[in-house]
Amino acid sequence: MHFAGLIACIRESNKVSVSEAIKIMLEKGIIQKLEETEHGDIVAADDKVAIGHLRFSHLPQPYMGDPSRAKIFLLYGSPSVLNNHDGVSHRDFNRDHKEFIFNSYDLDSSENKAKKYPLYALDPTFKKYPIYIWWRNHLDHLITESGLASEIVSERLFAAQYFSYFLENPDANDIPILKSQKYMFNLIEEAITAKKMIVILNKRRKWYSETVNLETYRKEKCRDTDGNEYSRVIQLNFPLGTNLTRGNMGPGDFDRILKILRGEQI
């Protein structure tokens, strides 16, 4: 989610004004005063150490969703450049993406899009763009089998990126941990405290390495209403595919996710 959406979600979660939400973001390190540099508009001052690795043609995507309202956390690697679709170039998509984010959110309205579609890639406003098409296909099995509207699924899922910026080389492994990442790790720790379900789709080792209690949380065993043992941390059978399907998860995991999405007891 981008700046406008972040403010809207924090306002909703904390019941505060726009200025108070920005103060919270500053205090937690979500945003920082940016220095006057060529790329200062999209790179936080404390993240400048990574500038040599970043792809500046696309806005960073730290996460999508509202962590306070979401029931399931999805952990990814880093945002990827999507293939062109229906003649929409990356440049045109990024331009229109920016326009939508900053023109469609009414930060002082309780009926803003961030509230209706926290995981904004499921917003039908994006339906002609690659971001909507990819996410709709990616979550198709969950949406279809849950029987829920995309709006509800958007509210109950939180998608986090291990690294929020687009990279020139997605396989780069010599980038230090950034302050923006530490904020994300803290959100995962809060999800663990709240006993939320977590699905690791990519960068498994890195998530475990940098999120202090994630490995311990995975080893905690729970029992569902049928007496079956399960973990609240799900690892995909084939992480490179990142398909959220029954066949890509352990026995019963997909059905438990469906129940959580529906608000049913597992």
pLDDT digits (tens, 9 = 90+) for 1-26: 445 556 656 666 677 775 677 667 66
**Between 18-27 and 3-14, two packed helices, what is the crossing angle to 10 degrees?**
100
Of the ranges 18-22, 47-51, 123-127, 231-235, the best mean pLDDT one = 231-235
| pLDDT confidence bin for 109, thresholds 50/70/90 | very low
Structural domain spans, the chain: 3-262
Q: How far apart are the first and last CA of the chain?
A: 29
Q: Phi and psi at residue 161, in whole multiples of 5°? A: -100, 135
Kindly state the average pLDDT of the residues 83-100.
Answer: 52
Degrees to nearest 5, angle at CA 211 with 206 and 217:
110
Query: Each residue of 208-259: pLDDT tens digit?
Result: 999 999 999 999 999 999 999 999 999 999 877 677 999 999 999 999 999 9
Number of H helices, E strands in the chain: 11, 7
pLDDT of residue 19: 61
Higher-confidence residue of 3 and 52: namely 52
d(CA 261, CA 264): 8
- Check whether 103 has a pLDDT greater than 50: no
Amino acid at position 174, single letter: D
Of the ranges 37-46, 50-59, 131-140, 236-245, the best mean pLDDT one = 131-140
Alpha helices in 28-176 (DSSP H): 90-104, 113-116, 130-138, 140-146, 150-156
Query: Each residue of 55-75: pLDDT tens digit?
Result: 666 667 788 899 999 999 999
pLDDT of residue 66: 92
Q: What is the pTM of this model?
A: 0.79
pLDDT of residue 107: 46
Q: What tokens does 72 get?
A: 């399931």
Q: Which residues pair with 222 in a beta bridge?
A: 230
Degrees to nearest 5, angle at CA 124 with 123 and 128:
120
